[in-house]
Amino acid sequence: MPLSSIFKYLRLGVVPILALCAWMATARLDSAASERTFSIPTGEQLRTDLALSQWLTDSWNSRQPMPSHAERRQDSPRSFEIFPQDLDLVRHLPASVPFGGAIHRTALRYQLDSMLLAAIVEVESGFDARSISPAGALGLMQIMPDLASEHGGDPFDPSVNLEAGAKYFSALLQRFNGDLELALAAYNAGPTIVHRYGKVPPYRETQAFVRRVMAIYEARSRRDVQQASFTLAAPAVEQLAALR
Is the distance from CB of 190 to CB of 201 less than 8 angstroms? Answer: no
> Could you give phi then psi for residue 232, rounded to 5 degrees?
-85, 125
β-bridge partners, 208: none
User: Which H or E element spans position 21?
Assistant: helix 3-35
CA max distance for the chain: 104
Active site residue 124: yes
Contacts of 225 (CB under 8 A, 6+ apart): 47, 50, 51, 54
CA distances from 92 to 2, 31, 184 (A): 78, 40, 22
For the four alpha carbons of 58, 59, 60 and 62, in that order, the dihedral sign comes to: positive
Can you say how many angstroms the Cα of residue 222 is from the centroid of all Cα atoms in its chain?
12
Q: Active site residue: 124, 181, 218, 238, which one?
A: 124
Task: Give the sign of the dihedral formed by CA 238, CA 118, CA 153, CA 136.
Answer: negative
Residues annotated catalytic, as ranges: 124
